[in-house]
Structure 1
Amino acid sequence: MTEEVCVGDAGCTQNFQGGTLAWHPSIGVTVTYYLPGEYQRVINKRCPLSPIDYVPSDMVNVGGHPLRYQAALGFWQLADAATTTGVPVTVISGFRSYATQATLYNSYVAMYGQERADTISARAGFSEHQSGLAVDIGNPGGACGLQDCFAQTAAGQFAANRAHEFGFIVRYPAGMSYWTGYA
C-alpha cells in the first residue's frame, strides 16, 4: 500500500494490505497485522485453533453450508466468475464444529486406522474448516467431489488457476503431502 520508508539508522517500514513489515538493524523483521489473529491464522497438524473448540461468530449460509462472512463473500465472487466462464461451482463442505470434526476423524480411524486417518482428515481442533474460512468446492453434478480426479474437472482447473483472486488457495495439491501432511 505504501513505498518502503527508511529513517536513518532507525530501520524501515512498509505498509501492506494486511499489515506492516518493519525492519530494524538490531531486531530484524517484525510483522504487525491490522486484524491480529482474525484471518492470518495458521491451522495445521501442529497449530491448533485457540481455543481448541473455537466457533466463529460471523457465519452465513452458503448453499446449506456455514462460512464466515469474509469467506462467503470470496466464495460468491469465485462462483460468479466461474459461472461467467461456463464453469458452475458448488460448496461441498464449509464450517465444521469441533464435535463434527471429531466424529468425522473418528469415523476415518474406525474405517482405515489412525495412521491412514491422519493423512486424510484433521483431528478436532486442528481443522481449517473449524475456522469457518475453509471451503471444499465441487461441481453441481458431484463428479469427483473430494477425490483426486477433481483437479481434472473444469471446476478444479478453475480453482487451481483463479482461486487466489478471491482469497483462496488449493490447500492440498497433488504431490505435496510431504509438506502439508495430507493426501
Structure 2
Amino acid sequence: MRADTFRVVSTAALAGLLLVGCGTGTSSESSAPTDAASTTTSAGAPASSAPSGAAAADADTTTADSLDVVVNKQNPLDPADYTPDPLVAIEGQQLRGDAAEALETMLEDMRAEDITVSVTSAYRSYDTQVSTYDHWVQQNGQVTADRISARPGYSEHQTGLAVDLADGSGCDLQVCFSKTRAAQWAADNAFEYGFVLRFPEGKESITGYAYEPWHFRYIGRDQAEQFHASGAKTLEEFYGTGAAADYIS
C-alpha cells in the first residue's frame, strides 16, 4: 500500500487522542491492568541475562527516531519528550508512517484469512504517560507503579513503533490473548512485516515487563527477519544491550 494513502494527523486530532489517552491506564507497556511483572521464567527459575547481540554492529539503539532504538527501564528516550514526526492515523490510533504502512498490510492479510483483529493502542505521548504513570502511583504507590507502568520517557509506545493488537474475544490485553487466532498468527508471521513480539513469556528479568502476547514492535522487515533467524527472543538479546529488569534509580 502506498505511503501517501495515510493521512498525517492534524494537531487538533492529536490533541483529541491525547485527551482520550490521558484517561486510560497502562499496565506494563500496555493499556489495561495485567499481572505485575515477574522476575522469573514461567518454570520459576531466574531468567538468564541478555547475551551478546546478533544484530548488525552499527545498529543505532539509542537515537529516538532509529528503527533499532531499544527503550526500556535502563534506556529512556532522549529527549524524554520525543515525538515522532510525522505521525499518521491508522485504525483509530497513531503510528510512525513506516510502521503504519507495514501494519496496514499485516492487518489486511490477517483479515483475508478471516482473523478478527483490531488495534487497541499504539503511539502514546510523553504527556499521556505522565498522566498514566501518576494515576498508578496515586493508586498503588511508586514501587507497585514501577512494576506495572512505564515511567514517562521510558515507554516504547512513545516511539510510534509499538502496537497492541486485540480481537474483542474477552482476552484483550490479557495473557489469555495468546490462545487467540490473532495472537498466534501474529506470533508466527509478524516478522515478515517488520514486527516482533516485544515482551515474550519467560523473559521478564530481561525486558522488565511481564508477558504481553498482544504487544508488537516494528523494527523494519530486514531486521525483523534477522531477529527471527537468530533465535533471539527479546530486543535486548538481539541488540546485546543488556538486561533491563529495573530502573537505574
Pairwise TM-score range, normalised by the shorter structure: 0.7 to 0.9
* Aligned with 2:129 (options 101, 109, 116): 101
C-alpha displacement of 1:79: 0.4
Counterpart in 1 of 2:72? Answer: 44
Q: Indicate whether 1:70 and 2:98 are aligned.
A: yes
* Residue correspondences, number: 153
Counterpart in 2 of 1:172? Answer: 199
Counterpart in 1 of 2:222? Answer: none
Question: TM-score of the superposition, structure 2-length normalised?
Answer: 0.57
Counterpart in 1 of 2:208? Answer: 181
Sequence identity percentage: 42
Larger Rg: 1
Q: Secondary structure at the match of 2:197?
A: coil
CA contact (8 A) 2:59 2:68 kept: no
1:120-139 matched pairs, under 5 angstroms:
120-139=148-167
Q: Secondary structure at the match of 2:198?
A: coil
Provide the C-alpha distance between the structure 2 equivalents of 1:67 and 1:83, rounded to a whole number of angstroms. 20
Provide the C-alpha distance between the structure 2 equivalents of 1:32 and 1:89, rounded to a whole number of angstroms. 32
Greater relative CO (CA pairs within 8 A, separation 6+): 2
Please provide the CA RMSD for this pair.
1.9
Describe the shift of the 1:38–1:148 C-alpha distance in structure 2 as closer, same or farther (beyond 3 A).
same
Counterpart in 1 of 2:180? Answer: 153
Describe the shift of the 1:61–1:176 C-alpha distance in structure 2 as closer, same or farther (beyond 3 A).
same
Provide the C-alpha distance between the structure 1 equivalents of 2:194 and 2:68, rounded to a whole number of angstroms. 12
Provide the C-alpha distance between the structure 1 equivalents of 2:118 and 2:93, rounded to a whole number of angstroms. 10
C-alpha displacement of 1:122: 1.0
* Aligned with 2:189 (options 149, 155, 162): 162
Provide the C-alpha distance between the structure 1 equivalents of 2:169 and 2:83, rounded to a whole number of angstroms. 28
Counterpart in 2 of 1:15? Answer: none
Question: Cα deviations across residues 20-62 of structure 1 (Å, max 9, x unaligned)?
Answer: 96xxxxxxxx5266xx752121111111111110001111111
Provide the C-alpha distance between the structure 2 equivalents of 1:176 and 1:38, rounded to a whole number of angstroms. 24
CA contact (8 A) 1:79 1:88 kept: no
